[in-house]
């Protein structure tokens, strides 16, 4: 099994990266392969809603860059975790551009991320954490991913690098989240229950 973490922070070894490593340490103990992809340090343009991915159905964005590689990484994985620091009560701009394109392509190709295990976490100095966390979960929930939870919302506090280690409740939240993701992944691995058939999306326009 493999879980990929997408780090939206522009700081390669900052608090968001460190939290992801704490999360992955738990998964590694149970033999789950992990990988961190640093998105926040890259230059990724946003989705222009051209609809090409709906026409080609080739699981690719019209902009032929590394985003297409990450789409396939997610498709081949068993689960993902999306992580971002909080910028102006939201996720980082690069992370937003990345997720818009990745999940739009998934939607255009019969929801290729459906029923993967997905979760999210954010790191904030003071406030805005819940707004940013909900922003990440919008992608996960829309894609019919299976979402493990923790014993509180996945918001960890810290300003300077390493400050997250002082947030004892935050550290527990992340460890509980990791254990619940492990449990969910293992249950999927052992289950013989057939997943429900995907339904064709009904799209309603309220403007006549």
Per-residue model confidence as pLDDT tens digits over 13-50: 999 999 999 999 999 999 999 999 999 999 999 999 99
Write the Ramachandran bin of 61: left for phi over 0, alpha for psi from -120 to 50, otherwise beta.
beta
Residue identified by tokens 């919302």 is: 153
- Tens digits of residue pLDDT in 147-205: 999 999 999 999 999 999 999 999 999 999 999 999 999 999 999 999 999 999 898 98
The whole-number pLDDT of residue 184 equals 98
Q: How many residues does the chain have?
A: 208
The whole-number pLDDT of residue 108 equals 96
Q: What is the mean pLDDT of the chain?
A: 97
What are the strands of the beta sheet with 79-85, ordered from one edge? 33-38, 2-7, 79-85, 117-124, 155-157
Q: Do 95 and 39 touch, CB atoms closer than 8 A?
A: yes
pLDDT at 208 over 80: no
The encoded tokens of residue 203 equal 């799209």
Query: What is the crossing angle of helices 129-142 and 93-108, to 10°?
Result: 20
Q: Do 64 and 100 touch, CB atoms closer than 8 A?
A: no
């Amino acid at each position: 099994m493999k879980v990929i973490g997408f780090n939206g922070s522009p700081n390669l070894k900052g608090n968001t990266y460190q939290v992801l490593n704490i999360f992955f340490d738990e998964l590694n103990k149970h033999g789950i392969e992990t990988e961190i992809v640093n998105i926040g340090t890259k230059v990724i343009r946003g989705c222009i809603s051209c609809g090409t991915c709906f026409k080609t159905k080739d699981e690719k964005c019209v902009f032929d860059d590394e985003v297409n590689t990450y789409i396939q990484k997610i498709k081949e994985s068993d689960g993902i975790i999306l992580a971002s620091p909080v910028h102006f009560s939201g996720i980082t701009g690069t992370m937003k551009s990345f997720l818009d394109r990745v999940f739009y392509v998934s939607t255009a190709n019969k929801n290729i991320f459906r029923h993967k295990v997905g979760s999210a976490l954010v790191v904030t100095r003071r406030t805005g954490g819940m707004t940013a966390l909900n922003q990440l979960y919008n992608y996960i929930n829309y894609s019919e991913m299976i979402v493990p939870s923790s014993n509180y919302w996945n918001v960890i506090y810290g300003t300077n690098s390493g400050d997250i280690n002082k947030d004892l409740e935050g550290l527990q939240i992340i460890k509980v989240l990791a254990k619940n993701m492990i449990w969910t992944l293992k249950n999927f691995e052992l289950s013989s229950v057939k997943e429900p058939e995907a339904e064709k999306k009904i799209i309603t326009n309220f403007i006549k």
